[in-house]
Structure 1
Amino acid sequence: METLSISPLSLFEQAGPVGKAVMAILLLASVWCWVLIIEALVSVSRLKKAVRLARSGGIHPLVAPLLDAGQKAAATTIPGESVGEARIRIAEAMHRAAQTIMKKTEGGLPNLAVISSVAPFVGLFGTVWGIMTSFTGIAASKDTSLAVVAPGIAEALAATAYGLAAAIPATLGYNRIGAMLAGLGQTLSHLVEERAVMLISRSSQKSKEVA
């Protein structure tokens, strides 16, 4: 008795042109998903180390623009400005730089959301097409045996599986990395506040020494 293989490659080879196109798209989406996840994890890890170094007094190229923005804002003097107003102005300048850093670190994270939401529907299209193929086979052969409908059903289920294989890691990656970025953004905000207080303290001390 001949047995049919249910390996991903065999299912792809047994599918029709439309089924193959759907599976190929979902396979590319799945590979792209893992590339985005790995890139995001590497970026988050690098920024974590950079922020940790900066909070301990060091300087890392990733957060250097943030520190430079604070230095420039602190060097600018505005007549009649209070210490509190100066601290807020410095912090705002650093927060803008921090947002740019976070945007770069985020990278292709929004694309993970697109994959997680679109991949199931692409797989569903392949499923519907496979079922239509099964009914067409029944109509053409006028036979309702399992041997006639099995290829189309297998193609339909394979498309569903490919869609889930792309959507599940994309969804998990998006949620997990999004949570990591949220925590990292909070840590970066703490760094901004710490540096703003430090810079305004130095500026006040210099003003007293001049006076």
Structure 2
Amino acid sequence: MTKEFWSPVQLSIQVTGLSGILVFILGIILARIMARKKFRGKVLLETVFLLPLVLPPSVVGFLLIVVFGKNGLPGKFIETIFNQPLMFTWWAAVIASSVVAFPLMYQSAKTGFEGIDEEIEHAAMVDGAGQLTLFLFVTLPMTIRSIVTGMILSSARALGEFGATLMFAGNIPGQTQTIPTAIYIAMDSGNMTLAWLWVAMIIVISFIMLFVVTYIK
């Protein structure tokens, strides 16, 4: 029972942690660019970034299979490099979680960047601050609340991802089975005690995350 319970929990934490790092990096970079740059097609591109928020998880999973499956160019490339397909691995769970979590990080970070007075950044540059110094010591500290909020909300979304993960990564115990998919299987097999334990675990983790977001506001 102990190993059966903790295996999905451990995998969920690993998947959430790694997808959180990916989403954090991509979210901040793209949010910074989109908050400051104006170019043709910007609205269209931003709509694509936010699309996973409204698409059904089954659609996200389907698109991931099309792109990263054996018939997709990225999928073929990955299989050639690593000598195995990406689907039905824990990396597939990381990608699925990252895709659905990215919009929350992106939108929160972008809101923070747009709220910065550009005159402050210009003054720092006049005083000799380079782009990297400006970003690390002026821009980021001024948007820390928005960034932390985005990190927590996107991590919570990644932790709870079910549909796309089930389609793209599968539900292999000890390999790709996360808490949400484990709950589904436990209920389907009638093991309500184990299902309740996982439900309680994910509720507690999610509650703590949301409490922190509410508190820092």
Q: TM-score range by the shorter chain?
A: 0.3 to 0.5
Q: TM-score w.r.t. structure 2 length? A: 0.32
Q: TM-score w.r.t. structure 1 length? A: 0.33
Which structure has the highest helix share of the two? 1
Which of structures 1 and 2 has the bigger CA Rg? 1
